[in-house]
Amino acid sequence: MPRHFSGLDTVIIRVRDISAATSWYVQQLGAEALYEDEEQRLAVIEVGGSPDGEMAGSTLTLWQLDDGVAWAPSSTYPILSTPDAKAAHAALAAQGVAVDALVETPGVWFFRFTDLDGNTLEACEVKA
């Protein structure tokens, strides 16, 4: 069977205020804003990747809800890879980000946290 897809392009995260959300992801997670569309009220941000651009990170698309649309949390959320879950957990907590407990399983360390709109994200370190 032919492959119709080459990978995941982005994950949409609905937000209440695109400017505030973009700033939060840049400041709290070290993401880079790659593209912003004021008319559509969205921003594409990149998380991870190498500083020299040799290796691309993953993109998230922050998309502001239309006026009058009620925000509701989703049970779907992105999992961000980290080389050091303990350090990421401590750094986010120190920045005032709402983080859950750090959990260790036989193969990974992980924790969940929320953005300023209450969207869930997860950080995961795969053990070598």
**Residues 64, 50, 35, CA angle at the centre, nearest 5°?**
25
The domains located in the chain, with CATH, are 1-67 (3.10.180.10), 76-128 (3.10.180.10)
pLDDT tens, residue by residue, 97-125: 999 999 999 999 999 999 999 999 999 99
| Residue 73 token pair | 């949390």
pLDDT greater at residue 2 or residue 29 = 29
117 contacts 64 by C-beta, under 8 angstroms = no
pLDDT at 8: 86
CA–CA separation, 43 and 19 (whole Å):
9
Q: What is the per-residue DSSP string for 99-117?
A: B---EE-SSEEEEEEE-TT
Conformational region of residue 96, where left means phi above 0, alpha means psi within -120 to 50, and beta covers everything else: left
CA–CA separation, 113 and 100 (whole Å):
6
Q: What is the per-residue DSSP string for 67-83?
A: TTPPP---S---EEE-S
CA–CA separation, 19 and 38 (whole Å):
9
pLDDT at 61: 97
pLDDT at 6: 85
pLDDT tens, residue by residue, 47-103: 987 777 777 788 999 999 998 998 887 889 999 999 999 999 999 999 999 999 999
pLDDT at 19: 97
